[in-house]
Structure 1
Amino acid sequence: MIRFALVGAGFIGSVHAGNLAAHPDVDFVGVADIDPTRSASLARRHATTAIDLDQAFDPDSVDAVLIASSTDTHAEHLRRAATVGLAALCEKPIDLDLDRAVAVVTAIDLDGRPMMVDFNRRFDRDYTQLRQAVRAGEVGGVELVQMTTRGPALPPLEYLAVSGGQMRDQTVHFFDLARWITGEDPETVFATGSVFTDPRVSELGDVDTSVVTLRMPSGALVAIDSARRIGYGYDERIEVLGSDGMIEAGRRHVGAVSRYHAGRVVGDGMHAGWFERVAPTYRSALDHFVDALAQRETLGPTLPEALKAQAIAEAATRSLRTGIPQPIVYPALSAATH
């Protein structure tokens, strides 16, 4: 049994708490949060204990920490876990500021320290199968990748103001997927966007709808369209076109029943929101992390991989603001961090 502490008792913390409590190979030690009332409530729900940060990072009673606290605390919690020798599974991003994220990863000797950033889309069943097929050469050389990430409604402006913008908050998951699926680090990025929902989004320096093009070293192109509000549910898909064929992880509906009438066909719609669509990926990511710890196997996405996705998001944000393509500059990390 791997002894886990959870740091953060907000919405995503509550998701992780349920998965930790249900995992057969996890001893859910307790929940820590800046709000003791919130941590106590979440702990009661899952038959564990409300603890403080010192207890959450105590290597005598904890083997691993799951960091689901506010974004501005991730880097310091990762540093603390590394200092005391704990494994860590951290929500993205390491820090919204790339320089600060690089600084903390550089300060951590990752040799023998299992640390993973929860880019949970990698654990989507369909995306995993798509990647396996692409890496096995089933479509030949990759030439064009098309990705879609579209949400049902504009998040609260209060959230958008601290999210880092669409590139860093929403599209970054697909920057990570693009690298993971193709096995290439994109060299340049061009991004363009508009605001269709609320003019105050523009005042925040953000967009709600965008299209991004990545150019890979092989010449392959990746096109990602992102939308905050579409009105018909939550919509994700990935298509990879190769020299010998095409593979697609299509839109996932809530069901597979179609009703046929004269002149029309009515089918099941999309998931109501992003969480309903991706909830199983959080469980699968935890499974991967626990299995890697128990069997001392390689885990990922690693901290350096997360930094690469963030570097792409930074370049895409610059392109969005300047209107011109941008080179992607990846952090230079020491050998110990790879």
Structure 2
Amino acid sequence: MKAIVVEHAGAPDVLQIRTLPRPQPRPGWVLIQVKAFGLNRSEMFTRQGHSPSVKFPRVLGIECVGIVEAAPDTNLHAGQTVAAVMGEMGRAYDGGYAEYTLVPASHVIPLQTTLPWELLAAIPETYLTAWGSLFDAMEVQAGQSLVVRGGTSSVGMAAITLAKDKGLQVLATTRTEAKANALRENGADDVVIDTGQIADEVKRRVPGGVNGLLELIGTVTLLDSLQAVAPKGIVCFTGLLGNAWVIHEFEPMAAIPSTVKLTQYSSDTVSAANSTQALQQIVDGVAAGRYRVNIDRVFHFNDIVEAHRYMEENRAKGKLVVVVD
């Protein structure tokens, strides 16, 4: 089978297409014929060498969609449409950047859908991350106000769609005016140009601050984000678009306003047991036109180096997808 292999950390051109033996089915694991996969920044970080637990060579890919080829000793069967998400895919074992992948059944979600593969591939990791952040971590409610900081990312776009469907007032941020219209077209009520300091501007537009803020930029903007929410509001740390992992000299008593809550959501918690119902609901919502999937660009398998370079240059306004052809 064809697979995209990283022999060592480095620039996008370390992604090499190789011929590898097809994985052999084993009890409790699912062999999937991969039809398409979404790209994720965590894969870029791994390729760059920022995932210490990952041993090279490795086939990357924390998600994929496709068809079950074999699933011994599981509740799945050959021919089913499935999504595979997380569970150390592309980290502890080879992931979705291949024609076939072998994944523990605990992280394979069966789906009833006729959506095209490239559209389906844009949904799992992105929408489940946005769903978990808004509904599990933040417990948002209709009528509340929300800032999505990093709104043009794929998770940001999904979060805007979900929040508007729930009945929230949504402000979204972008660093460039050129991307502002994409946020409005996706449903954002207002757009804030992010200069690195948005708290005062947010409070000017929503007096007293917003009820919640979804932080997708990360540590470089988190302290400012904490100042943008109202008393008893909540900030959810979900993304690392700013490529910085820690806050130096963090003083919680000074940095977190009184009664403001800080939480985080990680898609590492996603599994078939806790996410099958949500993902099916999301897929059905996309099929019905209730939820919008923002695909920036679809790449062919052989164009993986170009795809990673595009992602690394922060050129996307939405999800990047690779089809296995």
TM-based fold match above 0.5: no
TM-score (normalised: structure 1): 0.35
More helix per residue: 1 or 2? Answer: 1
